[in-house]
């Protein structure tokens, strides 16, 4: 009686290699300090690994105020669910890989806290460039960037107001300014321009 053929055991996965060659930017962090990152992240931010590892995530944000505000907003969400995601403006660090240092771009950021009770203690983060390597041509305030990110998610003015802790009328003022800056006649047109490559 012939014995059935046995399948070859799967090859061991080299997790370091998988991390390094992931198609999205990846970062391991402790207390919002980058302790490791992959090649895609260095490409996206126009920097070397040595320029990023050991640095605060602050260097990737357009301003200190935005870094602090998003950190405060993330904490209760990470406490409750252990994970967080949003679209936000980020800033290129260097001029490598065809980037322009200081240029801003839309980025989808997703993260997971390894300990919900201390959400910034250690985490795993991914970054995806939504701006197709184009600079944001309009000069936006930090609040306009937040409103724009929520508009891109399809939220209403009331929902955005609740998320940001401001009135829906204030959201509408920011939306009107965004529409002027992007020369958009409707909210749908604004969202298309924000998402456009």
Q: What is the DSSP letter of 61?
A: S
- Predicted local distance difference test score (pLDDT) of residue 186: 85
Distance separating alpha carbons of residues 179 and 85, to the nearest angstrom: 25
* Residue 49 pLDDT: 95
pTM of the model: 0.67
Distance between CA atoms of 82 and 115, rounded to whole angstroms?
Answer: 7
What is the per-residue pLDDT for 4?
59
Q: Which pLDDT belongs to residue 138?
A: 64
d(Cα 98, Cα 164) in Å, to the nearest integer? 35
Structure confidence at residue 137 (pLDDT): 54
- 3 state DSSP class of 156: coil
Q: Can you read off the two tokens belonging to residue 115?
A: 């300990």
Block means of pLDDT (10 residues each) for the chain, 197 residues, are 64 87 96 97 95 97 91 92 91 88 89 94 94 58 89 90 93 90 84 71
How high is the pLDDT of residue 134? 46
Please answer whether residues 158 and 57 qualify as being in contact, where contact means their C-beta atoms are separated by less than 8 angstroms: no
The structure tokens listed for 192 are 């298309």
Whether residue 36 contacts residue 28, with contact meaning beta carbons closer than 8 Å, is answered with: yes
CA-to-CA separations, 18 to 13, 15, 30, 46, 62, in angstroms, rounded: 8, 5, 21, 21, 30
What pLDDT does residue 112 have?
Answer: 96
């Amino acid at each position: 009686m012939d014995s059935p053929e046995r399948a070859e055991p799967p090859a061991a996965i080299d997790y370091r290699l998988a991390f390094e060659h992931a198609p999205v930017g990846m970062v391991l962090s402790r207390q919002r300090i980058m302790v490791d990152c992959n090649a895609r992240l260095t490409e996206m931010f126009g920097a070397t690994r040595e320029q990023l590892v050991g640095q605060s995530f602050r260097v990737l944000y357009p301003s200190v105020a935005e870094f602090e505000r998003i950190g405060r907003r993330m904490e209760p969400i990470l406490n409750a669910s252990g994970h967080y995601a949003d679209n936000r403006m980020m800033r290129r660090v260097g001029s490598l890989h065809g980037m322009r240092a200081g240029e801003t771009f839309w980025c989808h950021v997703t993260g997971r806290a390894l300990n919900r009770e201390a959400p910034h203690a250690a985490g795993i983060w991914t970054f995806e460039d939504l701006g197709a390597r184009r600079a944001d041509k309009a000069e936006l305030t930090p609040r306009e960037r937040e409103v724009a990110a929520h508009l891109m998610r399809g939220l209403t003015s009331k929902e955005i107001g609740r998320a940001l802790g401001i009135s829906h009328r204030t959201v509408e003022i920011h939306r009107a300014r965004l529409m002027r800056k992007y020369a958009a006649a409707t909210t749908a047109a604004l969202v298309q321009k924000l998402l456009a490559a």
